[in-house]
Each structure stands twice: as C-alpha cells, then as structure tokens.
Amino acid sequence: MNSKMKNEVLSIIKVIADNIQWNRYINEHYLHHYFTFQLQQRKYEIDLTKKRENFVVHPEWPTYRNEDKKCDINIPYRRYYHNEISNSNKSENAKGGHFDFAIGEYNKPEIGIEFIWEYGWNKEEFIFDFLKCMDGALPFTTAISYSVIVREKEISIKGRKTRFEKSLNGAYEEAKDRLDVHNSLYDVSKRDVYLIVTEIGQNDKRHWYFDKSKGKFREEKSINNVL
C-alpha cells in the first residue's frame, strides 16, 4: 500500500502547491479540508460507516496514547514536552504530539502528514513539525511536512530572502540537534522525509524543499522540480 499511497499523497501536495493563491483570510484548516477532499476523489475515504480497524486515513493521529476505557488501542511511540522530546524529568507533563493526518493501520501508520499555514515566520512551529517528521521513534516509512507562508505583499527578495533561507535551514538544524540528543534521528534507509514550503505573495510564489543530497533547503519556482 505504501508506494501507491505515497505517490497519491505527493500528487495531492503537488496539486495544492501548484494551484494555491494568495489569500489573507484563510488558515491551515482549509489545507486540511482540501487535502481530505482530494484523498476522497482518489477513493481513500474517511468512512464512518466502517469499523475502526478498516479505517485508512486518520486525522489528528497521536504519537502517544494510553489504552483506557474510551479507547482500547495503545499508541506507545513518543511524548513531547512543549516542542521538544520528553525526558525523565518532564515526563509527567509530556503529551503525545499529533500529526494532521496519518495513513495506514491506526496503531502503526505508514505515512504521516503535517501542514502549516502561517502569515510570516514561526520558528518553533517549523522546528516541531520537522522534528516530528524526522523522529526515529515514530513508525512511518514516509513523513511529509507541507507549509505555506503568506507574505503581506510580495515574496522575500535580496536580504530578506537570504534571511528566510537561513531561517529554514536553522529550523532543520535545530530539529536535528534535538533529535541527536536522544539518538533518535530517523534512518534514511527506512523513511522518506519530505520538507516542502511554499512562499506566496500577491503576485508570485516560490517553493523551498529540503535537498537531502545537499543537506539544506533550496528554492524552486516550479513544484514540478520538487515532486
């Protein structure tokens, strides 16, 4: 299932990135709704008439959940303290993180998808999404972070562009450092990680993606050069 579904999910991300327009009045939830609409067009339904074990698409999938009276499924993978991995000193206050969507078996999904929609830069939000996608404790074979940054007028140029690129790379490095402390960076032979950012202005847009071969983000004008 993974290869087919991975290609389906990446094709949806491509559709979103290729067609999205500047709009100051919408938020991340619009991405969620459009994503599920596209999934269902491809026959991957969120069907409440089916038994839970037959569900394939799981919104708000938790990285940690204790078995209790309401839910007889134990999700044991990872708890986080704020935007960092929990440790023994903070475990009482640590909670499971959530992926906007997971695809596959509920207790061990193969694909995790995160979305961000921001009006400007939010460092910790990007670090946390990158960290979860790269956390080797989680079960995914594919993890995708797709983000949209909306500019007030135009996309960043010159010095602002350089600073933004530096911020993206800095967020990746910080996520990597937080994982390295716990020896929990994902195994590249077992997981495909896609970190993609669309920067959009009133009259133009560009895409940034993490280039694994170079170990940093690079820009592309066309999403076709990314996916």
Alpha helices (H) in 121-190, listed in sequence order: 123-134, 158-181
Report the number of distinct structural domains present in the chain: 1
Q: Please answer whether residues 100 and 32 qualify as being in contact, where contact means their C-beta atoms are separated by less than 8 angstroms.
A: yes
Phi, psi angle pair for 226, to nearest 5°: -105, -45
Question: Would 97 be classed as within a structural domain?
Answer: yes
Per-residue pLDDT reduced to its tens digit, 159-205:
999 999 999 999 999 999 999 999 999 999 999 999 999 999 999 99
Q: Which residues contact 73 (CB under 8 A, 6 or more apart)?
A: 65, 67, 106, 107
Q: Please answer whether residues 140 and 80 qualify as being in contact, where contact means their C-beta atoms are separated by less than 8 angstroms.
A: no
Residue 168 is part of which domain span?
Answer: 2-47+93-225
Strands 95-96 and 192-200: unpaired
Helix (H) or strand (E) holding 109: strand 108-118
Question: Would 52 be classed as within a structural domain?
Answer: no
Compute the distance between CA of residue 77 and CA of residue 84 in angstroms, rounded to an integer.
14
Question: Would 107 be classed as within a structural domain?
Answer: yes
Question: Would 195 be classed as within a structural domain?
Answer: yes
For residue 42, what pLDDT band results from cuts at 50, 70 and 90?
confident
Question: Would 216 be classed as within a structural domain?
Answer: yes
Question: Would 190 be classed as within a structural domain?
Answer: yes
The CB-based long-range contact list for 158-162 (8 Å cut-off, 24+ gap) reads: none
Question: Would 35 be classed as within a structural domain?
Answer: yes
Question: Would 142 be classed as within a structural domain?
Answer: yes
pTM (2 decimals)?
Answer: 0.93
For residue 66, what pLDDT band results from cuts at 50, 70 and 90?
confident
Residue 82: what pLDDT?
84
Per-residue pLDDT reduced to its tens digit, 198-212:
999 999 999 999 999
Strands 57-62 and 98-105: antiparallel
Look at the chain and count its residues: 227
Compute the distance between CA of residue 140 and CA of residue 133 in angstroms, rounded to an integer.
9
Q: Please answer whether residues 188 and 140 qualify as being in contact, where contact means their C-beta atoms are separated by less than 8 angstroms.
A: no
Half-sphere exposure of 218 (CA within 13 A, CB side): 10
